[in-house]
Structure 1
Amino acid sequence: MHTNHMKDTNNNFNNSLLYDQKEKLIQSIKKIKHEIDECCDAERDAFVEAREVENRFEEIEREIKAEFQNLHRFLNEEEEMDLERLRKERDRRVKIVKDREKKIAMQGRDLERAIETLNCKLREEDSPKLLKEIKALLKRCEVNFIPPPTIDSEICNGQFVGPIQYRIWKHMKASLYPNISTLTFDLETAHPLLTLSAESTSVIFEEDKEVPKEDPDERNPKRFDYYYCVMGSEGFTYGRHYWEVEVKGKTSWRVGVARADLQRGEMDSSSTLNGLWTLSLRNGSVTACTHPKATQVRSSALLARIGIFLDCDREEVSFYNALTMMPLFSFFMGTVLVPIYPFYNPCDKDEGKNCAPLTIFQPTL
Structure 2
Amino acid sequence: MSQASKPQLPGNTEDPYCGTRPEPSQLFSDDDQVIVSSRCFQSPEHKQQGACGIQDAAECYRKLFQEALVTLREKLEAATNLLAEERERMVTIQEEEQRFKEMIEAEYKMRFQLLTEEEGLAAYQVDLSLHGPNQDQLMKCGTELMQKSQEMLQRLSHLGRENMGKLKASEVRLEEHLCSLQKTITDLEKTCGESAVVLLQNAKCYLKRSESILLQSLEPAQITDLSSCQIIGTSSVLLRLQRRITLDPDTAHPSLVLSEDLRSVGFGETPKTEPCTPRRLDFGASVLGAESFATGRHYWEVAVGQATQWQVGICDCTERTDSIPGASGGKVLLMGSTMGADCTLWVFPPLRKVCLRKQMYKVGVFLDCECGQVSFYNVTEQSLIYGFSHLTFRGAVRPMFSLCLPHGDMSSDSLTVCLPQTHP
Aligned partner of 1:267 in structure 2 is none
From 131, 156, 169, the counterpart of 1:102: 169
Equivalent position of 1:82 in the other structure? 149
TM-score (norm. length: structure 1): 0.56
TM superposition shift of 1:141: 3.3
| CA shift for structure 1 position 104 | 3.1
Q: For residue 208 of structure 2, what is the aligned residue in structure 1?
A: 136
Q: Is 2:80–2:178's contact at 8 Å kept on the other side of the alignment?
A: no
The match for 1:7 is 24
Give runs of aligned pairs for residues 68-217 of structure 1, distance below 5 A.
71=116, 72=124, 73=138, 74-92=141-159, 94-113=161-180, 126=198, 128-142=200-214, 146=218, 148=220, 167-168=234-235, 170=236, 183-189=245-251, 193-197=257-261, 202-203=263-264, 216=274
Q: Verify the 8 A CA contact 2:247 2:288 in the aligned structure 1.
A: yes
Name stretches of at least 5 consecutive residues in structure 2 with no aligned partner.
1-12, 18-22, 28-34, 36-52, 117-123, 125-137, 192-196, 316-323, 405-411
Amino acid at match of 2:179: E
SS at match of 1:306: strand
For the structure 1 residues 129 and 315, does the alpha-carbon distance in structure 2 shift closer, same or farther, using more than 3 Å as the test?
farther
Offset of residue 225 of structure 1: 9.7
1:41-79 CA distance string (max 9 Å, x none): 555444444443444455456656766776533431222
CA drift of 1:359 comes to: 3.3
CA contact (8 A) 2:307 2:414 kept: no
How far residue 34 of structure 1 moved from its aligned partner, in angstroms, is 7.3
- CA deviations on 1:297-329 (whole Å, 9 max, x unpaired) are 4448x74x5320246899875321448741135
- Structure 1 residue ranges without an equivalent (≥5): 264-270, 348-352
Q: How does 1:338-357 map to 2 (within 5 A)?
A: 341-344=398-401
Aligned identity (percent) is 16
Q: Which has the larger radius of gyration?
A: 2
SS in 2 for 1:7: coil
Inter-partner Cα distance in structure 2 for 1:136 and 1:309:
62
Alpha-carbon offset, residue 101 of structure 1: 3.4
Tell me the TM-score normalised to structure 2 length. 0.50
SS in 1 for 2:158: helix
Corresponding residue for residue 52 of structure 1: 95
After TM superposition, the structure 1 = structure 2 runs for residues 217-236 of structure 1, keeping only pairs within 5 Å, are: 218-223=275-280, 230-235=287-292
The AA in structure 2 aligned to 1:81 is K
Residue in structure 2 matching 1:245, options 301, 308, 316: 301
Q: CA RMSD in A?
A: 6.4
- Alignment of 1:257 onto 2:313: yes
C-alpha contact (below 8 Å) 2:376/2:385 kept by paired residues: yes
Match of 1:309 in 2: 366
CA 362–187 in structure 1, closer or farther in 2 if over 3 Å, else same:
farther
Specify which structure has the higher proportion of helix.
1
> Tell me, what secondary structure is at the counterpart of 2:202?
helix
Q: Please give the secondary structure, in 1, of the residue aligned with 2:247.
A: coil
- Counterpart residue type for residue 148 of structure 1: P
Instruction: Specify whether residues 154 and 234 from structure 1 end up closer, same or farther in structure 2 by C-alpha distance, changes over 3 A only.
Output: farther
1:244/1:307 contact within 8 Å kept: yes
Deviations 1:212-238 (A, max 9, x none): xx874x4435457999864212446x7
Question: Does the CA contact (< 8 Å) of 2:265 and 2:414 recur in 1?
Answer: yes
Cα distance in 2 for partners of 1:82, 1:195 equals 42
State how 1:15-34 maps to structure 2 within 5 Å. Answer: 17=58
Structure with bigger RCO (C-alpha 8 Å, 6+ apart): 1
In the alignment, is the contact (CA less than 8 A) between 1:309 and 1:319 conserved in 2? yes
TM-superposition CA deviations, 1:153-190 (whole Å, max 9, x none): 89799x769xx9xx54x2xx6x999x866644324335
Shift in Å at residue 135 of structure 1? Answer: 2.3
Q: 1:97 to 1:235 in 2, by over 3 A?
A: farther
Give secondary structure in 2 for the equivalent of 1:88.
helix
Distance 2:26 2:415 in 1: 92
